[in-house]
Amino acid sequence: MRLEAKRLDFGYRDKRVGSGVSLSLEAGEVLCLLGPNGSGKTTLFKTMLGLLPAQGGAVLVDDVDLRSRARDEVARLVSYVPQAHAAFFPFTVEEVVLMGRTAHLGVFSSPSRRDREAALAAISRMQIGHLADSVYTRISGGERQLTLIARALAQDARIIVMDEPTANLDFGNQVRVLQHIQSLAQSGIGVLLSTHDPDHAFICAHRVAMLHDGHLARLGAPSATITPDTLREIYGVEVAVVRVAVGEGVERPVCIPGGALSGGRH
Amino acid sequence: MTSARLPAALLGACAALLLLVAVAFAVGRFPVSAGDLASLLWARLTGAEHGLDPTIETVVMKIRGPRVAAALLIGAALAAAGAAYQNMFRNPLVSPDILGVSAGAAVGAVLGIFLSLNVIMIQSLAFAFGLAAVGLVYVTANAVRGHDPLLVLVLAGVVVGSLLGACVALMKYLADPYNQLPAITFWLLGSLASASPEDVWSTLPLMLLGLVPMWLLRWRINLLSLDDEEARALGVETGRIRLVVIAAATLMTSAAVAISGVIGWIGLVIPHFARLLVGPDFSRLLPTSILLGAGFLLGVDTLARTVARIEIPLGVLTAFVGTPLFLWQLATARRGWQ
Among A99, A65, A62, smallest CA distance to A80 is for A99
Which residues of B fall within a CB distance of 8 Å from A107? Answer: 216-217, 220, 241
Strands A190-195 and A207-212: unpaired
Spatial separation of the C-alpha atoms in residues A204 and B39, rounded to whole Å: 75
Mean pLDDT of chain A: 92
- Enumerate the H helices of chain B as residue ranges: 5-26, 34-46, 54-58, 65-88, 101-114, 119-143, 149-174, 180-189, 197-216, 218-224, 228-233, 238-260, 266-278, 282-306, 314-332, 334-337
Strands A2-12 and A15-26, by their bridges, are antiparallel
Query: In chain A, which residues have their Cβ closer than 8 Å to the Cβ of B229?
Result: 46, 51, 82
- CA B180, B181, B184, B189 dihedral sign is negative
Number of Cα atoms under 13 Å in the Cβ half of residue A215: 4
Res. A157 pLDDT band, cuts 50 70 90 = very high
Q: How many CB atoms lie within 10 A of CB A218?
A: 18
Q: Is the CB of residue B216 less than 8 Å away from at least one CB of chain A?
A: yes
State residue B338's pLDDT score.
41
Residue A139 C-alpha, separation from nearest chain B C-alpha, in angstroms: 11
> Is residue B201 within 8 angstroms of chain A, CB to CB?
no
The DSSP code for A238 is -
Assign B49 to helix, strand or coil: coil
- Give the residues across from A59 on adjacent strands: A5
Chain B environment of A113 (Cβ under 8 Å): none
Q: What is the pLDDT of residues A224-255, one digit of tens each?
A: 999 999 999 999 999 999 999 888 888 899 99
Confirm or reject contact between B236 and chain A (CB < 8 A): yes
Please judge whether B92 and A89 are an interchain contact, meaning their C-beta atoms are less than 8 angstroms apart.
Answer: yes
Give the model's pLDDT for residue B337. 47
Query: Could you say which of B2, B237, B279 has the minimum Cβ distance to residue A90?
Result: B279
- CB contacts under 8 A, B 281-320 vs A, are 281, 283
Q: What is the pLDDT of residue B334?
A: 55
Q: What is the pLDDT of residue A266?
A: 52
Of A9-13, B185-189, B234-238, minimum mean pLDDT range: B185-189
The mean per-residue pLDDT over the stretch B169-173 comes to 91
Greater pLDDT, B182 or B72: B72
Instruction: Tell me the C-alpha distance between A240 and A258, whole Å.
Output: 6
Residue A23, C-beta contacts closer than 8 angstroms, at least 6 positions apart: A4, A5, A31, A209, A216, A219
For chain B, the average pLDDT equals 86
CA distance B97 to chain A (A): 21
CA atoms of A230 and A200, how far apart (whole Å): 16
* pLDDT of amino acid A265: 53
- Are the beta carbons of A85 and B233 separated by less than 8 Å? no
Q: Name the most confidently modeled range: A188-202, B78-92, B143-157, B232-246.
A: A188-202
Contact A181, A189 (CB under 8 A): no
* pLDDT of A239: 92
* 3-state class (DSSP) for residue A212: strand
CB proximity list for A76: less than 8 A, separation 6 or greater: A103, A104, A155, A156, A157, B235
Share of chain A above pLDDT 90, in %: 84
Residue A256: what are its φ and ψ, rounded to 5°?
-125, 120
Size of interface A-B (CB pairs under 8 A): 95
The one-letter code for the residue type at A107 is V
Residues B245-267 pLDDT 10s: 988 998 999 889 888 888 888 99
Q: Is the pLDDT of residue B226 over 60?
A: yes
Q: CB–CB of B268/B321 below 8 Å? A: no
- The model's confidence at residue B150, banded by pLDDT at 50, 70 and 90, is low
Question: Would the CB atoms of B222 and A95 count as touching at under 8 Å?
Answer: yes
As a whole number, mean pLDDT of residues A202-219 equals 94
Taking the CA of residue B146 and the nearest CA in chain A, the distance in Å comes to: 16
Note whether A46 and A52 are within 8 A (CB): yes
Confidence of residue B116 (pLDDT cuts 50, 70, 90): confident
Give the closest of B234, B275, B283 to A103, CB-based: B234
Summarised one tens digit per residue, pLDDT across range B271-326 is 988 888 888 999 999 999 999 999 999 999 999 989 888 888 888 888 888 888 87
Residues sharing a CB contact under 8 Å with residue B303, sequence separation 6 or more, in sequence order: B312, B317
Q: What is the pLDDT of residues B324-338, one digit of tens each?
A: 887 887 777 654 444
